[in-house]
Amino acid sequence: MTPDPARIAALVANLEARHRHLQSWRKVAALYPPIIKAGTLNRIAKSGGEYLPDDRRILRALGLLEQRKRTETEKRIAEMVRETRKAVMVKK
């Protein structure tokens, strides 16, 4: 799964605007979860989105990747597991 180019462009524009306002990549990084370092944000913005980290956790934290959605089959299996657990539980 690759990030959407429109999302990358929006992120770069957002990073550049925040950097212009805050004047420091460290201050910009403080607005994001701790997993995202100032140098990573700097490199993404300076490259115009050409550079993206390989770590999927960072991409998710930046909003570039979405969590994988369950398929209908996975949802049915999860529901069956919940029902089985309820049936097995014994009330005292």
Residue 91: predicted pLDDT: 59
Average pLDDT over residues 70-75: 87
Q: Is 60 exceeded by the pLDDT of residue 92?
A: no
pLDDT-derived band of residue 68, with 50, 70 and 90 as boundaries?
A: confident
Give per-residue pLDDT as tens, 8-23. Answer: 999 999 999 999 999 9
Per the CB < 8 A criterion, the answer to whether 63 and 7 are in contact is: yes
pTM over 0.85? The answer is: no
SS3 content of the chain, % helix, strand, coil (to 5): 60, 0, 40
- State what percent of residues in the chain have pLDDT above 70: 96
Q: Is 90 exceeded by the pLDDT of residue 87?
A: no
